[in-house]
Amino acid sequence: MKDNKDRLLEGFFLPDLCNARAILVLLIVSEALVMALTLVESGIANFSWTRFGLVSLFVQWIALVSVAVLCQLRVVLAGVSIVVASLVAMLVIQVITLAIGLLGDILLPSGQLETNWLWVARNQLVSAIFSSMALRYFYVQSQWRLQTQAELRSRLAALQANIRPHFFFNTLNTVASLIVIDPERAEHMLMELAQLFRAVLKGADATSSLKEEFELGRGYLDIEQTRLGERLQVEWDLPHSLPDLQVPQLILQPLLENAVYHGIQPVVEAGNIRIAMRSVSTGWEIVITNSKAAKSSNTGGNRIAHQNIRARLDAHFVQNTGLEVNDMGSSYEARLLLPASGENA
């Protein structure tokens, strides 16, 4: 039931108006609107700060009360069609505008004995115009976001389905050669291979803890170390206590795979891969360094993996993420920046 509710809210065009960031943006936009209306009405020469303050108070009350009501109705509106939800949202804003307009006319009398219905009608018209523009903007933004997420999921699914076939066959060949001489090691490799493919076959938007990602990376490098023997030396430099951080699944494995296939495997001599993690001012930094031939040629495969990793980080976290890669001649370095806490986008 909760998953169904979350899916409805995720695809709903009206954003979450309950957070502080949305309220701050609303206040800024409202003040800009008030300034524009005041300048149009009085001009620069006759600009009155008293008039600006009264109009600002009136508009801010309408905006804040509308946001509070729509915030509570968001779950209900997400279960109906877009047309019905838009009409209900418009009706709510109109009713709130009318109520606050009549209340303001009572509390701040203009000297007239009767309600200035022309002023009330003007308020309703202005409110309808700007609320319809806001709802249209939210709808367009929602459609753009859903389309972007669909394209991202498609790319991630293609990436997950594109594990190098020769890695799978090479691993099976290594297992076959170990069955007779070292059956326990062969069984261990099959278990690690099964763990890796279990992760690959999960959904493209699946997440895992940072600890699970490192364990998956260790399993992958164990398989490659068995296959390559002394040609691959692995060094881990991780903190004793890993942060409790949820990250996109398979965020480290493509970087380790690139380190093996573009750095270690093409070289006859022994090479090394070093995985280090340290705390930085904006969060955590994971550095993967691998030795390589000084004049090795890069293929497009690693760039595709880098683009997918960056896209997954942007889709999962709000900020303080990134991936930097540096070719330093005899070594290659990938720096993965993660936030201190798992603030999702």
In a domain, 276, yes or no: yes
**Residue 35 sits in the same domain as residue 134:** yes
Question: 250 with 220: CB under 8 angstroms?
Answer: no
**Signed CA dihedral, 204, 209, 214, 215: sign only:** negative
Which of 158, 186, 205 is at the close of a domain? Answer: 158
**Residue 21 sits in the same domain as residue 154:** yes
Distances (CA, A) of 258 to 49, 117, 135, 165, 314: 63, 71, 45, 14, 21
Distances (CA, A) of 144 to 114, 137, 189, 340: 48, 11, 44, 29
Q: 161 falls in which pLDDT band (50, 70, 90)? A: low
Which of 158, 174, 192 is at the close of a domain? Answer: 158
pLDDT value at residue 291: 92
Least trusted range by pLDDT, from 97-106, 111-120, 201-210, 329-338: 111-120
User: For residues 161 and 174, which has the higher predicted lDDT (pLDDT)?
Assistant: 174
Q: Which residues pair with 324 in a beta bridge?
A: 335
**Residue 67 sits in the same domain as residue 189:** no
Helix axes 82-107, 49-77, angle to 10 degrees: 150
**Residue bearing tokens 């709130």:** 96
The amino acid at residue 34 is V
Least trusted range by pLDDT, from 151-165, 200-214, 250-264, 269-283: 151-165
pLDDT value at residue 185: 83
With a CB cutoff of 8 Å and minimum separation 6, the contacts of 13 are 82, 85, 135, 138, 139, 141, 142, 143
In a domain, 344, yes or no: no
Residue 98's domain comprises 2-158
**Residue 198 sits in the same domain as residue 320:** yes
Highest mean pLDDT among 15-24, 158-167, 299-308, 326-335: 326-335
pLDDT above 90 (res 235): yes
**Residue 153 sits in the same domain as residue 200:** no
Distances (CA, A) of 208 to 49, 236, 278, 316, 335: 55, 20, 20, 12, 19
Q: What's the number of domains the chain is made of?
A: 2
Which of 97, 128, 158 is at the close of a domain? Answer: 158
Per-residue pLDDT, averaged over 36-42, amounts to: 78
pLDDT value at residue 322: 86
Q: 300 falls in which pLDDT band (50, 70, 90)? A: very low
**Residue 186 sits in the same domain as residue 133:** no
Exposed/middle/buried for residue 344 (C-beta within 10 Å: 0-12, 13-18, 19+): exposed
pLDDT above 60 (res 236): yes
**Residue 250 sits in the same domain as residue 206:** yes
pTM for this one?
0.55
pLDDT value at residue 1: 43
Helix axes 183-200, 210-228, angle to 10 degrees: 130
**Residue 36 sits in the same domain as residue 95:** yes
User: For residues 287 and 15, which has the higher predicted lDDT (pLDDT)?
Assistant: 287
d(CA 83, CA 233): 61
**Residue 317 sits in the same domain as residue 229:** yes
pLDDT value at residue 113: 53
The region that residue 111 occupies, defined by phi over 0 for left and psi between -120 and 50 for alpha, beta otherwise, is left
Mean pLDDT of the chain: 81
pLDDT tens for each residue of 73-100 = 888 888 888 888 889 999 999 999 999 8
Note the residue count of the chain.
345
Per-residue pLDDT, averaged over 265-290, amounts to: 91
Give me 243's structure tokens. 């942060």
pLDDT above 80 (res 102): yes
**Residue 45 sits in the same domain as residue 119:** yes
